[in-house]
Every structure is written in C-alpha cells, then in structure tokens.
Amino acid sequence: MSVIRELRLGVNIDHVATIRNARGGGHPDPVLAARLAAKAGADGITAHLREDRRHIGDDDIERLSSEIDLPLNLEMAATDEMLAIALRHQPNACCLVPEKREELTTEGGLDVAAKHNQIAPYVTKLAEAGIRVSLFIDPSSVQFAVAKAMGAHIVELHAGAYCEAVISGDDAQRDIELKRLQMGAAEAHDVGLEVHAGHGLTFDTVSPVAAISEIVELNIGHFLIGEAIFGGLDSTIKRMRALMDQSRANALGARSA
C-alpha cells in the first residue's frame, strides 16, 4: 500500500556518478543507487545533467527514465541542449538551476527576475510538454512573483546559506537564514507555487527545514551519498526519512495543539 506523505524525499544520486567517473567504467552504478533509494523510502530521484557531464551522463538519464519507477526530477540549465533532452525523456519534473563551469556545486539560486527573458521560453516549452517546472531560487518576494508569472509550477528554495550557518556555528545567521526559508515558503505557497527545498541538508540541518509546513519536498544528495559510505545507503536514507517525518509530525502536532 502506498503511503501519502506530508513531506516527500527526493534522493539526488549525482555523487554516485562522481565516484564512478573518478575511475571510469560502471561502478558504482547510480541507477542501482536509485533502485535502493526507492526501497529505502525515497519518493523521487533527482539527477543533475550538467553541461560538462562531470557526474550524471546521458546514458544515466536514459536508464533512470526507463528502469526506475519513481518520479524523476531532472535538474538542468536553461539551454537548448538540455531542453531537447528533457523533451525526449519526459521526466516528471525539470528543475532549472544556474550553472557555472568553474563551480564545485550549484552556488546560489537562479535570478529569474534578472534573467526573465532568457528563462521564460524554457519554462513555457517544458510546461507545454506536460513537464512540471521547478525553479531553484533564493527565497525572495520578487523571485516568487516572477516565477509565478512565468508559469512555473514549483519553486525549490536554496537551503545552502542556512546549512552553512549551522555548520559554521553562527547561531544568529542560522536564525536569519531559517526565518528567510520559513517566510519564503509561506509567501511562495500564498502565490500558488508548490514549495520544495534543498542543498546542503544533513542529519544536523534537516529538522527545522522539514518542520516548515508549506514545503512538500526536500531534495538531498551529497550528504546521503557520503554518509552511506559509513552507514550504508538503506539505513542512511531511512534515518533521513525518520528525521523528516518526526520533525514534520512534531510541527503539525504543535500547530493543531
């Protein structure tokens, strides 16, 4: 029996491919990781096909689309090349992200307000093809208004600044960044956008974000794959799910009390 959850977990399997690509060949296989993630309780699989193919490759997207039953969230830059790939594979969702060749990871959200004319045609074409469109943005009113006007269905809030503040032990900054996520989630929800969050989430940072009731999906990758080296993928994902579910249940309990 499938369980309808208040908060979905999208497992990002990019860094299984990072390890595979360090040596070439096919091991470890990100598609096998996706299969194990599904068994462990993931609600979706996320993969970022970068222009430089530094981790996930075209063949991975092909196999994730055809071999895995969970919804695929394809992260991609707004380019003609990526649009053609998305239209060919018809993932459940495409999350448009900013991409810089020299960055180690996605450093900030898309500035959809400044790049409206560049991004809007991709949102339209993906939406017309029946693909749910998500925009990875920093929590800000102007970004939400533009995302909605462009026809995006979802905004994914960049949780990186909050996570960095937790890691650096800067409690004042952590509170500021968490408030930004809380207020942003409420505002995005109010304008009619589905709200997701991701980037940098770990066992130590996930609970306050999972407690934000407007957020319906968290996308988590690097920590889960790294931690799986020590704890195994199955138990790492199950523990993350348990923390998310516990935090959401506590928050809902506190609201209804």
Other C-beta atoms lying within 10 Å of the C-beta of residue 81: 11
User: What is the SS3 assignment for 80-145?
Assistant: HHHHHHHHHHCCCEEEECCCCCCCCCCCCCCCCCCCHHHHHHHHHHHHHCCCEEEEEECCCHHHHH
Question: Is 199 assigned a catalytic role?
Answer: yes
Residue among 43, 75, 99, 217 that touches ligand PXP (CB under 6 A): 75
H runs (alpha helix) in the chain: 14-23, 30-40, 58-67, 80-89, 116-128, 141-150, 160-168, 171-190, 206-210, 222-231, 233-256
190: tokens are 């109010």
143: tokens are 């970004």
List the interface residues with ligand PXP, window 161-200 (CB under 6 A).
198-200
Nearer to ligand PXP, 219 or 236 (CB): 219
Please tell me the distance from the alpha carbon of residue 68 to that of residue 232, in angstroms, as a whole number.
20
Q: Check: CB of residue 84 under 8 Å from CB of residue 72.
A: no
Residue among 17, 112, 221, 233 that touches ligand PXP (CB under 6 A): 221
Q: Does 95 bind ligand PXP (CB under 6 A)?
A: yes
Q: Does 222 bind ligand PXP (CB under 6 A)?
A: yes
Shortest Cβ distance from residue 3 to ligand PXP (Å)? 23
Give me Rg for the CA atoms of the chain: 17
Shortest Cβ distance from residue 9 to ligand PXP (Å)? 11
Residue among 31, 40, 76, 97 that touches ligand PXP (CB under 6 A): 97
The count of residues interacting with ligand PXP (CB under 6 A) is 19
Nearer to ligand PXP, 204 or 252 (CB): 204
Q: Does 17 bind ligand PXP (CB under 6 A)?
A: no
Question: Is 189 assigned a catalytic role?
Answer: no
List the interface residues with ligand PXP, window 134-163 (CB under 6 A).
136, 156
Q: Which residues form the interface with ligand PXP (CB under 6 A)?
A: 12, 14, 48, 75, 95, 97, 105-106, 136, 156, 198-201, 219-223
